[in-house]
Amino acid sequence: QGLMAGKRGLIMGLANNRSIAWGIAKALHDAGAEIALTYQGEALKKRVAPLAERLDAIVVGDCDVTDEASIDAAFDVLEQKWGKIDFVVHAIAFSDKEELTGRYLDTSPENFNKTMQISCYSLAAVSKRAEKLMTEGGSILTLTYYGAEKVMPNYNVMGVAKAALEASVKYLAVDLGPQKIRVNAISAGPIKTLAAAGIGDFRYILKWNEYNAPLRETVSIDDVGNSALYFLSNLSRSVTGETHHVDSGYHVVG
Ligand code: 0WD
């Protein structure tokens, strides 16, 4: 449909072809966007390279968001290649699997800090670099989950990090609004990805959503990708600071 024709941007958080980042990357590519990708850890390089090829995407390289220098390096590559960018997709989260089960109360300070740094602070760190390259405005999109709003079993410290992430979206939207850079979040329904596999009883959560969501089905990475297209294109040019549910309507009943 060409909604993204002439737009260039970075997608962070592609791990494999089940990643939400992959659903978004496909939708953006089909709409005419030029895409650059970062991955995390050498182990993922093999997985990401063939996916990048399918979308004619630039593989910027390994970018660990806990390492400021590695974020700088990724944005330096973008600056050299493109000079200017129009969008960034932040599809990154991490917490120790051991703590995504049982009680939130038992979260260790080390994992609390790491979860917050990777799943929340990194959006600010990335947005700060993106600002410099979004010289004609832009759109930044992150991914969140309903566990930020309501207590979901086993989501624990990740729910707390997502609540902070959703607040960050609002603060960043205010900081970057004058430059016409929009910041939004999609709150996706549960999808079986690598990250989700770490959450206790995840299959039960999937089934529960399927039976109880108004649309009586779970969402796919393509559903999230299509909604992302709205946020990353000019269709949403007056929308910022928003958390938008792509969850088959579960949040109105859950
Ligand atoms: O049900 C779900 N899958 C939902 C996911 C529902 C609602 C929201 N989300 C969110 C996640 O919390 C995350 O923010 O969507 C985002 C993307 O997650 P995903 O697509 O579910 O999971 P996955 O394919 O595993 O991608 C997340 C990636 C990491 O993968 P692994 O599994 O290797 O941890 O985040 C990246 C990494 O590639 N990541 C990092 N990237 C840079 N630096 C780092 C890091 N330090 N840590 C993790």
pLDDT digits (tens, 9 = 90+) for 93-125: 999 999 999 999 999 999 999 999 999 999 999
Query: pTM for the complete prediction?
Result: 0.98
3-state secondary structure of 241: coil
The tokens describing 226, both together, are 């299509």
Active site residues: 145, 155
Ligand 1: lining residues by beta carbon, under 6 Å: 13, 15, 19-21, 40, 63-66, 91-94, 118, 143-145, 188, 190-191, 193-196
Dihedral (C-alpha) 65, 145, 30, 85: value to the nearest 10 degrees? Answer: -40
Residue nearest to atom 30 of ligand 1 (CA): 15
Instruction: Determine the Cα–Cα distance for residues 163 and 145; give it in Å rounded to an integer.
Output: 9
Mean pLDDT of the region 159-184: 99
When pLDDT is cut at 50, 70 and 90, the band that residue 200 belongs to is confident
